[in-house]
Structure 1
Amino acid sequence: MVAMHAAEPPRSARGGRPRDPSRDDVIRAAILRLLAEVGYGALTMDAVAAEAGVGKATIYRRWRTKQDLVVDTISDLNRAIAVPADTGFLEGDLRAMMHLVAEVTGGPAGAAIRSLLPAMQYQPALVEAFQSGPLAVWRSAYAAMWRRAEERGEVRSGLAGSVVAEATSALIVQRWLLTGEPVDRQYVDHVLDVVVMPLIRNARPAEA
């Protein structure tokens, strides 16, 4: 798999020695774990410092507020998400993409994002962080996948953004957000075989 975005150079702190990007990653991982455990409302800067094993000054040199800390962490997830390479045919691409969505939503990042849903109702910055981070990666990867399928003549034009396209991830997202049931590879493959591929077969270009 290939990285979707290259890492950006470390952002400078407000004075003092340069930030250590490896420590940033440790702190962000701690934030995701805590969000999954306690949610946004109960998250504190002190708890993040303790979970990451760093001093509070290290946290405050990087982020002034809890919202800054969480927004930066969620926005930065696009750096960590790797998208599958082109398999050469749509079913292979779909299987890889659906496995990716299941992996992300079923992991620490997915648990953290789910815990943020109540806060997103009154924190627009959190919504923007999700849209510009992991959601942007998924949308870009899916758009590229549908474009390749159209170029190969596997599907009719304009399928991206359609109900058929939405159906490829809808059941995974439903389990992630609503039911809490596990989303493993076996479930993803079953959804692909029973639901998605029959829809795709109906979306093939009309024969001349």
Structure 2
Amino acid sequence: MSTQAATAAARRSKLTPEREAELYEAVICLLREGGYDSVTMEGVAARTKCGKATLYRQWGTKPRLVTAALDKRRCAVFTGIDTGSLVGDLREAARIAATSRDRDAELMEAVSQAYIAHPDLRAALRETVIEPEVAALDAMLARAVERGELAADNPAIGFVAPCFLGMLRIERLFEDRFADAETMRTFVDAVILPALKVRPSHGGATEEAERSGGSEV
């Protein structure tokens, strides 16, 4: 079921917005705690003291309920970052990623597993969780091109969002290497910026961007 259909189904209900938000938050918490398979209509009903019949009448199935809950969260963590420089934007994204890591890691893990195992949720997960983050990171790069900080034909541009989000995904698998909050900042400075041929100053401002072959931007 599409997110639009799930939202339309929700709107037919007499539930108040506050009650809907409570139900959606219960779904998100269950996803974080135990993954997609831990989300059940019975579990959501028990956690929110809501009748199971209400949930079935409202959403019909678990996939529809989970889709609606994720749709309500459709807001990229990195949306709104605009420091005026690419270095500043990516470092701010790294800071936010570090501060939100503990809270959102479980959800990202659940989403990643469900993405592979449940084709019926795949489109909804891409739309509600993955694509907003990719779009926000891509927007940072597009602004950098417009400002002349970054060459439009730099082949690394298309790999930044996948690498950034991929690092967040695997960071927990390498806790022996990446245990501190500076991991993402170091990743930006040591991997992302060199790949983009952008040199940060010690203060964090962007210096002259360099293109392959030594030509100017």
Shorter-chain TM-score tier: 0.7 to 0.9
Corresponding residue number in structure 1 for 2:210: 204
Corresponding residue number in structure 1 for 2:74: 78
Match of 1:112 among 107, 110, 115: 107
Task: Give the C-alpha shift of residue 131 in structure 1.
Answer: 0.7
Whether 1:135 and 2:141 are equivalent positions in the alignment is: no
Q: Where does 1:1-208 land on structure 2 (aligned, <5 Å)?
A: 11-13=10-12, 18-79=14-75, 81=77, 83-102=79-98, 106-108=102-104, 110-159=105-154, 161-164=157-160, 166-176=162-172, 178-179=173-174, 185-201=181-197, 204-205=210-211, 206-207=215-216
Unpaired segments ≥5 residues, structure 2: 1-6, 199-208
Calculate the aligned-residue CA RMSD, in Å: 3.1
3-state DSSP of counterpart to 1:162: helix
Partners in 2 of 1:63 and 1:82 — Cα distance? 30
TM-score normalized by the length of structure 2: 0.73
Partners in 2 of 1:85 and 1:10 — Cα distance? 33
| 2:40–2:62 contact (8 Å) kept in structure 1 | yes
| 1:98–1:169 contact (8 Å) kept in structure 2 | no
Task: Give the C-alpha shift of residue 179 in structure 1.
Answer: 4.3
Partners in 2 of 1:87 and 1:121 — Cα distance? 35
Q: Deviations over 1:84-113 (max 9, x none)?
A: 3311001111112233445555424x4134
Unpaired segments ≥5 residues, structure 1: 1-7
Task: Give the C-alpha shift of residue 116 in structure 1.
Answer: 4.3
Partners in 2 of 1:95 and 1:23 — Cα distance? 37
Corresponding residue number in structure 2 for 1:4: none
3-state DSSP of counterpart to 1:83: coil
Partners in 2 of 1:89 and 1:13 — Cα distance? 45
The AA in structure 1 aligned to 2:216 is: E
Q: Deviations over 1:24-65 (max 9, x none)?
A: 111111111112223322421111111123332332232111
| 1:77–1:133 contact (8 Å) kept in structure 2 | yes
> How many residues matched?
196
Q: 1:154 to 1:116 in 2, by over 3 A?
A: closer
